[in-house]
Structure 1
């Protein structure tokens, strides 16, 4: 999940489940090789047998407890949603769906919580993810992995100078698997929470192609990239997410994407050329071939 998805989910959970008491817990109903359960950090990403044993403890640890808060935090590998429940923090990175009293829950789920008012919450991870239930430490945070070196793009610490230094201090010529803009911005958790979907919107804003070499850009382009990151992230969160995704109520976000599966083949909102889709780095990229040309000329921006 991206930072945008996490933050939208967190905001909605704050308004729907915080303050409610958990009266029923169903954990690991549909075992998944790549959905991990753990009650202590040492069991994180454990083998399936260990993970499934850990899941058996969730009912006892959560039943009768009150959801106290909803937040987003960063880990070494991703961004995570946190629900604070008593002396535990439920840390997860799975698609989340809220069901009002009387609504029919899904047949398949990895964690299902029923609340005292009849509403419920389901975490469903068809592609895998973490569902950890760690103890809260003395700072009120769940024990996790060492935090990433990069601050949240939503924070003041993620400044223009920080972003430029991040580029300067990276050997762009040695980036693997490729030294492209997408590789730099959206892989290896270099900028936590910046995923492929929001990357396309950021790059469309500044007319930069995801397949361009990062080293082919100059300082002016880097500064424009920074400005677009700081603009697009809060705008998408305020809109409740991208129109290609769904919130905890099953509704799409209201941020109209410019380059996505929703606009594939349609005229670019800036120049009118049709939006295209191409494979890149094991996934797909969307862009306008006219106003986002691919740059492969190597030149230093500093």
Structure 2
């Protein structure tokens, strides 16, 4: 996350959505402006868990003093198709896991077994908000507080260059910053990586994205493919997670459509209908 107080802008860094390139452009151009940037990892004494300061879901950010800037300033975020994002998140998880896997995925995509191992653990990691899987959390965790959108300007990776150009015009950004964003849109500083097309088209990855990121597709108008789980272990896990029954019989708490508690109490999981961005800046 970056806050530029002179331009009255907040740039939210959604994982695996060109955030590093955007961060570099805004920070380099803002060297002479009043800017703040958050990166690295830290233990949050309020949440009682480790957090990734660069990628903070808004449910986490809400309790910090930074929240006031999301209310007062224009907020920008870059988004990406959930299938492409999840494929990139799998690679990023392996890149950060060990030196050996980092070297492997620098020149070739994750193997089928590595992908399945990642997907089998992702539901529990999301349930626990484990930052080691933060790159695979849904987009709307970083753009919405519950059903409330907190972003004013969205940039799509699929039309990166044109959206960055339009952003500069809409917000009347400085010419120097527009020039840097133009360079980013043209691919400046982009690292050569292995093609992830086969990974993003994997039926188990698409089925997992359809389930865990289901609100992202209609919210951000991304096309969703029909996909079913083919890996037996993964299919068994998901079926158990989606079961409706006694709370203590369920492996996870956040995927079941309805939890049945002791003494007959029930708590259903509502489906969120999300708008992609706020229509006007919220009042301070």
Shorter-chain TM-score range: under 0.3
Name whichever structure is richer in strand by fraction. Answer: 1
Greater relative contact order, per chain length (Cα 8 Å cut-off, separation 6+):
2
Larger Rg: 1
Higher helix content, 1 or 2: 2
TM-score, normalisation: structure 2:
0.24
Q: Please, what TM-score do these two structures have when normalized by structure 1?
A: 0.23
